[in-house]
Amino acid sequence: MLENYFPVLLFIILGVVIGAVPIVLGWVIAPHRPDAQKNSPYECGFEAFEDARMKFDVRYYLLAILFILFDLEVAFLLPWASILKEIAATPAMRAFGFIEMFVFLGILVIGYVYVWKKGALDWE
């Protein structure tokens, strides 16, 4: 029974080794010559003028969530479009597939209009 899990164990060991070897090689081979410039908190050429943990406007997050939602719309539309010929082959499935996608797109359009009316897509 346990011999069935040997390939899984081998795969895990191989994954750990492949992940650990570059880290160990970098630690062993890399030169260790820290200086004041390398130990500074920012290596962009000038001192930091603001806190790195400043607050972002909530619109950035809202726009990111909207992008994910409309990206998922494409992820749901693509499989439906790829089997569209099979859906249209039978009359019962033709009506069901059309209504199903019409309802899905209708919900997304209602959400899009709602977001638009709320002003979430306006950028100042």
pTM of the model as a whole: 0.47
Residue type, 1: M
**Best mean pLDDT range from 14-28, 34-48, 77-91:** 14-28
pLDDT averaged over every residue in the chain: 83
Nearest partner of 77 among 87, 89, 66, judged by Cα: 87
The angle formed by the CA atoms of residues 23, 28 and 32, to the nearest 5 degrees, is: 110
Q: Alpha carbon of 79 to those of 53, 69, 73, 76, 96: distances in Å? A: 41, 17, 11, 6, 16
CA distance 10 to 33: 38
From the CB of residue 22, how many other CB atoms can be counted at a distance below 10 Å? Answer: 9
User: What pLDDT, in 10s, does the model give residues 25-51?
Assistant: 999 998 888 877 666 666 566 666 666
Reported as a pLDDT band with limits 50, 70 and 90, residue 71 is confident
CA distance 14 to 79: 35
